[in-house]
């Protein structure tokens, strides 16, 4: 049985197998072990699995295995609900394809300038990863041809439908060849997904991987609350009592998300909001600040439960209970990853007892309301983020690399390399996280010095 779960048991190109070994991919996850054989055999596949199950590598290896690098045409199309997920998928495909030369993967998403995307399309690509709205726009303007697509992937299909992309998705599918392989991955399977699958897939193989949480790694607690003031007070009590270094707080609407983040900031917490009404630039910045530990609290709608590249966090709060049980599991799955322990706190009102009963049945646990910490913890100071972030107005297009920034900051010995956190290089700017005690010194060094012989504007961003 063990041999059946290793990548070398698959009929993959030698270059792919060599690369998998070099990046430490040896044994397949359950969804990979079940879906890759039929994918490689050219069959349509429906896969159900939670975030972190390894589905991206499953469809990524499948489409790379049949790619003809010499044919410089778009041969695979991956549709994703959000730009963040599209970026994540693109990075993973490029990582899987490292040993195959000259493969071009292009990302086409909204929230980015249209013109440069047209220029990139004119230079050609093998694989397109994008969001339905922007892909449809390129098709409508005649800038994108999908005549040679042999593999179509619908990633997080349920999320795409929830976001209102059904018409766009079906229009895009109509531009692809009828004789193609279609791979559909989704965490949940509402009737709309089943209807689309029935229309656009041919005798699909169905793969389901159980998404129950690991109760040994996530400590769940539930608290009964009354009005909104009670809910906010309960949240503050738990944040101040447990002092988590990083927390994600889930709300059900964009308005509630922004209002809660604003209220937490007024209470002294390093809190940021992420939701669909934010400009893409602000979403990117919020995620950067949270992932590099320059913000300790991220208040989010469910778009952050799946598809966003956020590392494991110390605590997850369901400020409002999710509308269905599987979404609850995806939310709390943000903590307790990779064997680490995590905490999940959920608030519910009298009117939500039916949701509690659903969770009891689904999770096979008994839920009882727990007591909140003593009011005395309200006298504690809100936990502060460990880092602060500098933005440098130079990035990939200015040939700035992470090593250049690290070298400029540490060359004189005024700051230790240990004080420098994550460095994110974007097209025209870079973000560098610096330990708070060393932040002013870092800003002074970069302000008076040069990177690669050039002076760049430097400023603090965020909290």
pLDDT at 213: 47
Question: 442 lies in a domain?
Answer: yes
| Mean pLDDT calculated for residue range 398-419 | 90
Asked whether residue 239 falls in the same domain as residue 140, the answer is no
Question: 415 lies in a domain?
Answer: yes
Asked whether residue 320 falls in the same domain as residue 226, the answer is yes
CA distances from 65 to 54, 69, 99, 309 (A): 17, 10, 12, 25
Question: 273 lies in a domain?
Answer: yes
Asked whether residue 138 falls in the same domain as residue 231, the answer is no
Q: pLDDT digit string (tens) for 286-305?
A: 888 998 999 999 999 887 65
pLDDT at 276: 78
Characterise 268 by phi-psi region: left (phi > 0), alpha (psi -120 to 50), beta (else): left
Q: What is the pLDDT confidence band of residue 62, given thresholds at 50, 70 and 90?
A: very high
Question: 280 lies in a domain?
Answer: yes
Tokens of 28: 């397949």
Asked whether residue 204 falls in the same domain as residue 262, the answer is no
Q: pLDDT digit string (tens) for 236-274?
A: 999 999 999 999 999 988 899 999 999 999 999 999 999
Asked whether residue 113 falls in the same domain as residue 162, the answer is yes
SS (H, E, C) 424-449: EECCCCEEEEEEHHHHHHHHHHHHHC
Alpha-carbon distance 463 to 460, whole Å? 9
Q: pLDDT digit string (tens) for 428-459?
A: 899 999 999 999 999 999 888 888 888 899 99
Q: Reduced to 3 states, what is the DSSP secondary structure of residue 114?
A: helix
Number of structural domains in the chain: 3
CA distances from 449 to 120, 398, 411, 432, 441 (A): 35, 17, 11, 16, 12
Which of 145, 179, 208 is the endpoint of a domain? 208
pLDDT at 275: 87
The upper half-sphere exposure of residue 207, i.e. CA atoms within 13 Å in the direction of its Cβ, equals: 28
Asked whether residue 168 falls in the same domain as residue 42, the answer is yes
Angle between helices 353-363 and 325-332 (to 10 degrees): 70
Which of 363, 379, 395 is the endpoint of a domain? 379
Asked whether residue 271 falls in the same domain as residue 347, the answer is yes
Q: Pick the residue with more confidence: 51 or 208? A: 208
pLDDT at 216 over 80: no
Asked whether residue 196 falls in the same domain as residue 225, the answer is no
Q: Of 1, 9, 103, 20, give the one whose Cα is nearest residue 61.
A: 20
pLDDT at 319: 96
pLDDT at 338 over 70: no
- CATH code for position 281: 3.40.50.300
Question: 391 lies in a domain?
Answer: yes
Question: 9 lies in a domain?
Answer: yes
Give the pairing type, strands 297-300 and 247-250. parallel
pLDDT at 45 over 90: yes
Q: Are 445 and 407 in contact (CB under 8 A)?
A: no
Alpha-carbon distance 254 to 275, whole Å? 6
Q: What is the pLDDT confidence band of residue 184, given thresholds at 50, 70 and 90?
A: very high
**Phi, psi (degrees; rounded to nearest 5) at 454:** -125, 150
- The conformation of residue 347, written as its DSSP 8-state character, comes to E
Asked whether residue 174 falls in the same domain as residue 229, the answer is no
pTM: predicted TM-score of the whole model, two decimal places: 0.70
**Domain span at residue 333?**
218-379
Q: Are 125 and 69 in contact (CB under 8 A)?
A: no
Question: 71 lies in a domain?
Answer: yes
Which of 345, 379, 413 is the endpoint of a domain? 379
Alpha-carbon distance 117 to 115, whole Å? 5
CA distances from 50 to 120, 228, 458 (A): 33, 31, 40
Asked whether residue 332 falls in the same domain as residue 455, the answer is no
pLDDT at 54: 83
Asked whether residue 256 falls in the same domain as residue 401, the answer is no
Q: pLDDT digit string (tens) for 157-169?
A: 888 887 889 899 9
Tokens of 255: 């308005």
Question: 213 lies in a domain?
Answer: no
Asked whether residue 226 falls in the same domain as residue 288, the answer is yes
Q: pLDDT digit string (tens) for 63-113?
A: 999 999 999 999 999 999 888 889 889 999 999 999 888 899 999 998 788
pLDDT at 1: 36
pLDDT at 133 over 60: yes
pLDDT at 209 over 90: no
| Mean pLDDT calculated for residue range 106-131 | 91
SS3 content of the chain, % helix, strand, coil (to 5): 40, 20, 40
In this structure, is the dihedral angle defined by the CA atoms of residues 83, 78, 310 and 443, taken in order, positive or negative?
Answer: negative
- CATH code for position 443: 3.30.70.330
């Amino acid at each position: 049985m063990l041999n059946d779960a290793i990548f070398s048991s698959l009929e993959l190109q030698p270059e792919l197998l060599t690369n998998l070994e070099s990046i430490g991919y040896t044994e397949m996850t359950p969804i990979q072990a079940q879906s890759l054989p039929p994918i490689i055999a050219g069959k349509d596949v429906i896969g159900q699995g939670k975030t972190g199950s390894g589905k991206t590598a499953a469809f990524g290896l499948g489409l790379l295995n049949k790619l003809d690098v010499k044919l410089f045409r778009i041969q695979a199309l991956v549709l994703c609900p959000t730009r963040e997920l599209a970026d994540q998928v693109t990075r993973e495909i490029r990582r899987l394809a490292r040993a195959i030369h000259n493969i071009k993967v292009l990302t086409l998403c909204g929230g980015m300038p249209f013109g440069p995307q047209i220029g990139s399309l004119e230079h050609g690509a093998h694989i397109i990863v994008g969001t339905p709205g922007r892909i449809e726009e390129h098709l409508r303007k005649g800038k994108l041809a999908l005549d040679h697509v042999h593999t179509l992937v619908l990633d997080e299909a349920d999320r795409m439908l929830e976001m209102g992309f059904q018409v766009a998705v079906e229009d895009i599918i109509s531009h692809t060849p009828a004789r193609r392989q279609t791979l559909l991955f989704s965490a949940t399977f509402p009737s709309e997904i089943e209807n689309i699958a029935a229309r656009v897939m041919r005798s699909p193989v169905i793969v389901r991987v159980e998404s129950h949480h690991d109760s040994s790694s996530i400590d769940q607690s539930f608290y009964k609350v009354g009005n909104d003031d009670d809910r906010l007070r309960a949240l503050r009590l738990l944040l101040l009592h447990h002092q988590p270094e990083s927390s994600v707080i889930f709300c059900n609407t964009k308005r509630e998300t922004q209002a809660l983040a604003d209220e937490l900031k007024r209470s002294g917490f390093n809190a940021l909001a992420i939701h669909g009404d934010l400009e893409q630039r602000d979403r990117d910045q919020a995620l950067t600040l949270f992932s590099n530990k320059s913000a300790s609290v991220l208040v989010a709608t469910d778009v952050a439960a799946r598809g966003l590249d956020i590392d494991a966090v110390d605590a997850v709060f369901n400020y409002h209970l999710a509308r269905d049980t599987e979404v609850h599991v995806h939310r709390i799955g943000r903590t307790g990853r990779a064997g680490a322990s995590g905490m999940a706190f959920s608030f519910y009102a009298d009117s939500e007892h039916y949701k509690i009963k659903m969770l009891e049945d689904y999770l096979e646990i008994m839920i009882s309301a727990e007591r909140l910490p003593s009011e005395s913890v309200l006298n504690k100071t809100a936990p502060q983020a460990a880092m602060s972030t500098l933005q440098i107005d130079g990035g990939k297009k200015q040939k700035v690399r992470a090593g250049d920034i690290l070298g400029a900051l540490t060359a004189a010995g005024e700051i230790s390399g240990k004080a420098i956190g994550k460095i994110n290089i974007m097209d025209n700017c870079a973000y560098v996280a610096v330990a708070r005690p060393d932040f002013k010194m870092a800003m002074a060094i970069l302000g008076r010095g040069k990177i690669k012989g050039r002076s760049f504007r430097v400023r603090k961003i965020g909290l």
